[in-house]
Amino acid sequence: MSSTLLIVAACLAIASFLQGLTGFGFGLTAMGLLPLWLPVRDAQTLCTMVGVVVTSMNIAVARKHFRAQGTLPLLLGSCVGVPLGYQFRTLIPENSVRPWLGAAICLMVVWDVVGRRFRKAPAGDADAPTATATAIGVFSGWLTGAFNIGGPPLVAYLYSRPWPVHRVVAVLSAIFLASGLVRLAVIVADGRIAEPLLTATAVSLLPVLAGIAIGQRCLSRTSPDLLRAAVSVVLFGLGLAFLLSSPGPG
């Protein structure tokens, strides 16, 4: 087994640990780490394949807390946005993908940090108007389709709702699973599922499962805010490095 395969599995395990600890962050963390070892296109495909497994586990655990009210516009918008983002990604020259990805990671880290400030503020009972919620879903799906980092817009909005945290996690998991399945379908139709990526997915499954389980067990013993602050600093640095890097193969 190659050292790169082991490193990739470790990166996905770290992303899964953060997902288990905080309920989100898999895509952003994975896309911050995987391009250090893989071409961006392969990293995105692998992130999608493993992400479907991660979100399936999350929704299986949190399904009893799911409520459809206020969710449908976000979910449908996200599914619509995925192919739009994927199409945008195909328009970017391969030698410019890393700077685009770096800029997107930096923006999403900032959005996540700013969103946390709003999530701590009291919120009213009313959900956003349907058009606004749909637009948030489309933007999240667009980011998922283009760069696999569609979480922060949804997280910032849903954590501002006066909902129990378990319901928020269940809704996030449902939307991430739906958009991930749409992206996976688009990738399959595009012929991007190669044997090495299937091998990497298979090798990563046990570390990913372990990462989620350990993250969930550490939830009561660790400050998720402190950990996410440290991760945000690292991801912002990686995003900045991608942004400022010389154009190269994507």
State the burial class of residue 192 (Cβ atoms within 10 Å of its Cβ: 0-12, 13-18, 19+). middle
For the stretch 146-185, pLDDT in tens is 988 888 888 878 877 777 777 888 888 899 999 999 999 9
Tokens of 92: 């970017």
At residue 240, the 3 state secondary structure works out as helix
pTM (two decimals) = 0.80
Q: Which of 57, 106, 60 is nearest to 215 (CA)?
A: 57
For every residue of 65-79, DSSP letters joined together read: G---TTTHHHHHHHH
For the stretch 18-66, pLDDT in tens is 887 766 778 888 988 998 899 888 999 999 999 998 888 878 877 787 8
Q: Which of 204, 233, 168 is nearest to 24 (CA)?
A: 168
Query: Which one-letter amino acid corresponds to residue 152?
Result: P
Neighbours of 66 (CB within 10 A): 15
